[in-house]
Amino acid sequence: MKLQQYLGGLENLGPVNVEKRVFVEDWEARLFGVHMTMMGTGIWAWPHLRVKAEGMNPLDYFKYRYYIKWLGGMCAFLIERGYIDENELDELTAHFLANPDAPLPEKGNKNITDKVVDYLWTGDDPYRDVVINPIFREGQRVQVKDMPSAVHTRLPGYLRNKIGVVDEVYPKAILYSDSVPTDSVSTPQPIYRVKFMTRDIWADIPDTDDIIYNDCFETYLEAA
């Protein structure tokens, strides 16, 4: 079991850090720019980053700020895939640590900026043009399966074994990712919006009519 895949419902964590900024250090914005370049030029995609996050020591996952974790994940991926050399990165890091105002090289590929901006406007629609025959219908009771632990999942842990009602059957097939190992969301399949009564998930909370909706991949569901 990976804690990062089971965050929903954890208790005793104290108050939320209500930090309304997107970046709290200048380097975070620049790191984000490099990340977007990696996305827009096909070096990586979200699932690669999530594999790194879900593979972390869970205590470290809670300890380190969001973009510190991105920095670790991005560097590890780029080294593993041979885009950069670890020693080269370490040496250059030491150089900029000793000379924080040293300039960046005036080199690069000027075509990449437009490519990245085009990607931002186009996105990456997960719909796939394949015929689907959804096995559940609107209004049907479904139970969420307890899937085996995976490198990467799109199933929130707190919903496992819980029963909900299909609220909407989305009309088209969705492919989550075929580039990383997942618990079977790597083939195009139907998606259902499932409605859960929050009290059906946690019986010990105050009695309200509160609701949780989650979009579930078909592979995660069975008839209840």
Partner 1 sequence: MSTEKDKHGHHDHLREGESYYAARTKALESLFREKKLIGTDTVDRVINFFDLEMGPFNGAKVCARAWTDGEFKKRLLDDCNAAIAELGLRDGIEGENLKVVECTPKVHHMVSCTLCSCWPWPLLGLPPYWFKDPVFRARVVREPREVLKDFGVELDPSVRVEVWDSSAQIRYFVLPNRPEGTEGWDEEKLAALISTEAMQGLDLVTA
Show contacts with partner 1 in window 53-92 (CB under 8 A).
Answer: 53, 60-62, 64-69, 71-72, 74-76, 78, 83-84, 86, 88-90, 92
Determine the Cα–Cα distance for residues 81 and 86; give it in Å rounded to an integer. Answer: 11
Asked if 224 interacts with partner 1 (CB under 8 A), we say no
Give the residue with the Cβ less far from partner 1, 83 or 130.
Answer: 83
Q: Which two tokens stand for residue 63?
A: 């300890």
Residue 214 amino acid letter? N
Contact between 147 and partner 1 (CB under 8 A)? no
CB of 129 to partner 1, least distance (A): 14
Task: Give 214: exposed, middle or buried? Use CB within 10 Å, 0-12, 13-18, 19+.
Answer: buried
* Contact with partner 1 (CB under 8 A) among 45, 55, 116, 143: 116
For residue 189, what are its two tokens? 């399949």
Q: Which of residues 122-141 bind partner 1 (CB under 8 A)?
A: 122-127
Residue 135 burial (CB count, 10 A): 14
Binder among 154, 177, 182, 219 for partner 1 (CB under 8 A): 154
Q: Is the distance from CB of 156 to CB of 147 less than 8 angstroms?
A: no
One character per residue 170-209, x = contact with partner 1 (rule: CB under 8 A): x---x-x--------------x-x----x--xx--x--xx
> Which range, of 129-137, 138-146, 147-155, touches partner 1 by CB under 8 A?
147-155
Rounded CA-CA distance 25/18 in Å is 16
Residue 147: CB minimum distance to partner 1, A? 13
Binding residues for partner 1 restricted to 28-57, rule: CB under 8 A: 28-34, 36-37, 39, 41, 43, 46, 50, 53
Compute the C-alpha angle 70/22/48, nearest 5°.
25
- Please list, in sequence order, all residues whose beta carbon lies within 8 angstroms of the beta carbon of residue 171, skipping any fewer than 6 positions away: none
Query: Which one, 116 or 140, has the nearer CB to partner 1?
Result: 116
Extended strands (E) in the chain: 127-128, 141-144, 163-169, 173-174, 191-197, 211-217, 221-223
- What is the smallest separation between the CB atom of 89 and partner 1, expressed in angstroms? 6
